[in-house]
A and B are shown apart, each in its own frame.
Chain A
Amino acid sequence: MFRERIEEHYANLTPGFRRLADFILNQTLDVAFLTATELSRRVGIDPATVVRFSQEIGYSGFRELSREIKAYVRGEIAQTYHKAVEAGNEEDLVQALFASKAQDLEQFATTEAPHLAQALKMLQNAERIWIVGEFPSYDIARYLAESLVPLGIPVFHFAPSMVEVAKATNDMQAGDVLLALVFGTPGVDTGHAVKLANAKGIPTVCIADSGTTLAAREAEMAITTPGQSPLDIGSFAISLLIIATLKDALLSSKKEATLAHAAEVQSGIEAARQEAPGN
């Protein structure tokens, strides 16, 4: 463990190494999400020093040290979570969950945000959007499709059953984009839908909580969301957060239409109320 190793070597460390050691021991949570360069900047030392420090205390490099720190932090969070579950203390549980999600989001923002931006660009330029998802992801596909009505372009959603895929693929045309959602399931059939759309020359985007699922491997643009909870079950928090972000981004690029749509819905409700005051 890095803590033991640091303590073991601490007495012989140079002042620069000690600053780094102190930082790692005191701000372990932060360190877990910093690159060597970011860490060196935070501590005010050279990036090469970070690497040499890792080697000094017995690692092959910062990569190995960082991996151990990440595992440690994950374990700590899991422990808090387990304790909260055992104690039946919902508030602690919520706090532990928030801490773990904040980290997942941080990680997503650093590594996946550029992909999300590219997907956004593809969808903004689409003439029609198809959204496919199976089992729980089908509901998410439906949510997204229904939320995107203000865009003023056709947005279809479907489950990747054999017949549905055959029909959707047949109806797809140049200018369309297929968005595949795979959360919490292997998503084999969704992968097939992506494959068929690709073969037809339809640009494909996949948002999945596994980067190795068939749909993610087949899609032109793949975005991976963190999908693991500290308690060894799946997690949909960041996945849904990203779906909402994509939706908000698409809607805000057509802000006028979105606001006009909301006003129309509101006045429609009012009209309905006057028509049928008994309601």
Chain B
Amino acid sequence: MFQEQIRQYYDSLTPGFRKLADFIMDHTLDAAFLTVTEISRRVGVDPATVVRFAQEIGYSGYRELSHEIKHYVRDQVTTTYRKSVEAESEEALVHQLLDSTRQNLADFSMTETAKLGEALRILKQAPRVWITGEGPQQAIAQFLARMLQVADIQARAFAPDMLNVAAALSKMEPGDALLVLAISVPDIDSGYLVRMAREKGVHTITIADNTLGAPAHEAELVVLVPTAGETGIPNTGAALAIIALIWEALAGTTAAKTAESFAAYNEYLSEILELRTHTAAYEAILPQTKD
């Protein structure tokens, strides 16, 4: 291969030949498509020098060297092409997304740890935690509230529509905390909610991926989670992990209580299972099927 040939002869080459060698090694793609005259002009040597250079490093002439360079470049291009096709496989996509998430988590832990710590401090001291989220994140708000209750923390989730906002606001007390999840969703209602809650003396925290939205704009504290990615749509892996970390950090401070709650649940679960297997009523209420 031409690279080996060049390396082998490089030390004994004249300065003119070296310039050529450098050009071919560093701009192989360009070199593949240049004629003798064009390459000589680019490097600033005589066309005859190009031919002699090729012979010097073991080829019959520039034609043979050029042929090899073209071949090499074609192989390279094919490999790259194959790679980009592979990047469209499901596994490549999964790894691409996980890589972005990893990067987002690293970025977050570099810049936002203090903010998240402050959010935890506020949430921990609040007598009650109110949680809401727009669109599908309402379900995440519900999840978080449910799990905080398991950890013996007073938490309630509500939908950010007018009626529910009014109902929640009427029950909020100064010192309570309001947590708004606003990650990559258009916000309509939660902006007003944050402002009104704040006016009522409620601590307001927004978790968002930008500071432009109303709930972020109005909140006392914004925890900014990165949703950068390469797929063209927001990468929400880090954001959801961070929301789950809020639970883990809060429940961790009441770990004994949390474990107790889970133990109690599991006890009831076993009892229900027991009842199911021994309840004749189950058979009685089911319609009898005949073989």
Contact = CB atoms under 8 A, between A and B. Distances in A.
Q: Do A and B bind each other?
A: yes
Interface of A: 81, 85, 89-91, 93-95, 97-98, 101-102, 105, 108-109, 113-114, 116-118, 120-121, 124, 135-136, 139-140, 142-143, 146-147, 184-186, 188, 229, 231-245, 247-249, 251-253, 255, 258-259, 265-266, 269, 272-273, 279
Contact of A241 (B117, B241, B251): B241
A254 to B, nearest CB: 10
Nearest to B257: A233
Contact of B98 (A85, A109, A120, A251): A109
A252 B93 contact: yes
Interface in B229-263: 229, 231-245, 247-249, 251-253, 255, 258-259, 262
B253 A85 contact: yes
B273 interface: yes
Given A90-B118, A114-B91, A142-B139, A97 B248 contact: yes
Contacts of A85: 252-253
Nearest to A242: B237
B231 A117 contact: no
B15 interface: no
Given A117-B89, A146-B135, A248 B120 contact: no
B195 interface: no
23 contacts: A90-B120, A90-B124, A98-B245, A102-B105, A105-B105, A136-B147, A140-B140, A143-B136, A143-B143, A146-B139, A232-B255, A236-B248, A238-B241, A240-B240, A240-B241, A244-B101, A245-B98, A245-B237, A248-B97, A248-B229, A248-B237, A266-B186, A279-B188
Interface of B: 89-91, 93-95, 97-98, 101-102, 105-106, 109, 113-114, 116-118, 120-121, 124, 135-137, 139-140, 142-143, 146-147, 151, 162, 186, 188, 229, 231-245, 247-249, 251-253, 255, 258-259, 262, 265-266, 269, 273
For chain A, what secondary structure do more than half of its interface residues adopt (helix, strand, loop), or is it mixed? helix
B93 A247 contact: no
Contacts of B135: 146
Given A118-B90, A143-B139, A241-B240, A188 B95 contact: no
A233 B248 contact: yes
A266 to B, nearest CB: 6
Contacts of B239: 244
B233 A252 contact: yes
A245 B94 contact: yes
Given A85-B253, A140-B143, A252 B231 contact: yes
B94 A258 contact: no
B121 A90 contact: yes
A237 B109 CA distance: 14
Given A146-B136, A232-B259, A252 B90 contact: no
A94 B269 CA distance: 33
B168 to A, nearest CB: 18
Contacts of A135: 146
B245 A237 contact: yes
A244 B237 contact: yes
